[in-house]
Homo-oligomer: A and B are copies of this chain.
Amino acid sequence: MASSPQPPTIHDVARLAKVSTSTASRVLGNYGRFSEATRKRVMEAIETLGYRPNSVARSMVTRRTHTLGVVCADISSPFFSGVVRGITDEARRHGYSILLTNTDEEVASEREAVGLLVDKQVDGLIVATVDVADVEHLRTAMSHGKQVVLFDRPSSAIEADAVTVDDVGAMREAVTHLLEHGHRRIGILTELRIEREADWAELLGPDLDRPRGEINASAARLLGYLRAHRDAGVEVDPALVGRTGGYDVEGAAEVTRRLLTAPDRPTALVTTDNMMTLGAYQAIRELDLELPGELSFVGFDNLDWTTLVRPALTVIEQPVHEIGVMAARRLIARLGGESGPPELIELPTTFLIRESVAPPRN
């Protein structure tokens, strides 16, 4: 075991094994030709020196770092930490490491993170992009030869694989469940930012059947909400759509309070992600509304606490770990040379019926 100064290099093992560095490198990488005798000598030298190849030097020449860059909004959120766990698990199986960054939903941070990761020569990027319409930096990275895979937020503005869940279907199922219980005023809580009023109009417009892809997860979930209503022949009161304009628990609670204290308040509420679920539930607690008697509730994401509260919450579950696994798998396949058009993988969600939905009291 070498002490602090210089760890042994391949030159040291070559010298000790009395071979050239070329030969040492060959047995190390187990390629090319070499006799059994030299193999042994080299292995012994490696052993006695405690030699370990320097990955950085290797990357320098192979132009591969076996490192994947991950850019998510916030690793401390249950959704992202679950996905990242899936990513690291799958990456590790294939000999890849993960370089982690957070954006806090700031496009500037995302740009910086992507730049940094590219500079560090990651082999590819897995990103939950902040803005599906603002992906120029990702396109640039791809033009520099980096593979990218999107998750949670597919974007048609870039030719990249994406893994997500069937957001439209998931929300449609949940809202239909509520409608079937007789609810006619169903509130929805979403972070959705609407930049231009026109987008909003378009979203609510007649073209409810457009394919998704150019819209983000929140918009897709709202679309599912709208389609369920249309299918049931129920008109949506725009006042029932609570938008926070950002991921923020406090904001979610605030909007929920407003929604639920309005004169003609909804008899049921659905949320579109874990932050909204948490904020909404907090507000419901404060308002001391009894579930499901005074209000029916469907949350998004099967957070562990949703079975701990009473009544247990009916929720839409996303396969978080699997999202990560699939994203990593896609990326690694591309790195392995797989070609072909971008794939959009839509993983199924699971609607978990528990105890927070009942017919409206009237």
Q: Does residue A74 face the partner (Cβ distance < 8 Å to B)?
A: yes
Q: Does residue A143 face the partner (Cβ distance < 8 Å to B)?
A: yes
CB-CB contacts of A198-238 with B at 8 A, as 1s and 0s? 00000000000000000000000000000000000000000
- Decide if B55 touches A121 in the complex (CB within 8 Å): yes
Residues of B within 8 A of A81 (CB): 75-78, 80-81
Give CA–CA (A142, B115) in the complex, Å: 31
Scoring A1, A75, A102 by chain B CB atoms within 10 A of each residue's CB, the highest score goes to A75
From A34-42, A301-309, A333-341, give the one contacting chain B.
A301-309
Give CA–CA (A89, B102) in the complex, Å: 8
CB < 8 Å: which of B59, B77, B92, B305 contacts A56?
B59
CB < 8 Å: which of B3, B5, B89, B119 contacts A54?
B119
Contacts of A233-248 to chain B: CB distance below 8 A: none
Identical chains bound together, number: 2
- Decide if A120 touches B281 in the complex (CB within 8 Å): no
- Decide if A56 touches B60 in the complex (CB within 8 Å): yes
Assuming the A-B contacts A54-B121, A305-B309, A308-B285, are A144 and B7 also in contact, with contact meaning beta carbons closer than 8 angstroms in the complex?
yes
Closest B residue to A5 using CB positions: B145
- Decide if B78 touches A85 in the complex (CB within 8 Å): no
CB-CB contacts of A59-76 with B at 8 A, as 1s and 0s? 110000101000000111
Scoring A3, A81, A282 by chain B CB atoms within 10 A of each residue's CB, the highest score goes to A81
Residues of B within 8 A of A304 (CB): 278, 305
Residues of B within 8 A of A158 (CB): none
CB < 8 Å: which of B4, B53, B75, B281 contacts A85?
B75
Distance of A112 from chain B, by nearest CB (Å): 9
Residues of B within 8 A of A82 (CB): 76
Distance of A48 from chain B, by nearest CB (Å): 15
Residues of B within 8 A of A56 (CB): 56, 59-60, 65, 120-121
Q: Does residue A127 face the partner (Cβ distance < 8 Å to B)?
A: no
Q: Does residue A33 face the partner (Cβ distance < 8 Å to B)?
A: no
- Decide if A282 touches B305 in the complex (CB within 8 Å): no
From A11-19, A93-101, A254-262, give the one contacting chain B.
A93-101
- Decide if A99 touches B102 in the complex (CB within 8 Å): no
Q: Does residue A118 face the partner (Cβ distance < 8 Å to B)?
A: yes
Give CA–CA (A288, B97) in the complex, Å: 45
Q: Does residue A84 face the partner (Cβ distance < 8 Å to B)?
A: yes
Assuming the A-B contacts A2-B144, A143-B1, A309-B309, are A52 and B115 also in contact, with contact meaning beta carbons closer than 8 angstroms in the complex?
yes
- Decide if B97 touches A98 in the complex (CB within 8 Å): no
Residues of B within 8 A of A75 (CB): 75, 81, 84-85, 88
- Decide if A4 touches B78 in the complex (CB within 8 Å): no
Scoring A78, A97, A304, A310 by chain B CB atoms within 10 A of each residue's CB, the highest score goes to A97
13 pairs, CB–CB < 8 Å, chain A vs chain B: A1-B140, A4-B143, A52-B118, A56-B120, A57-B60, A60-B60, A67-B120, A75-B81, A78-B81, A85-B102, A89-B102, A92-B101, A285-B308
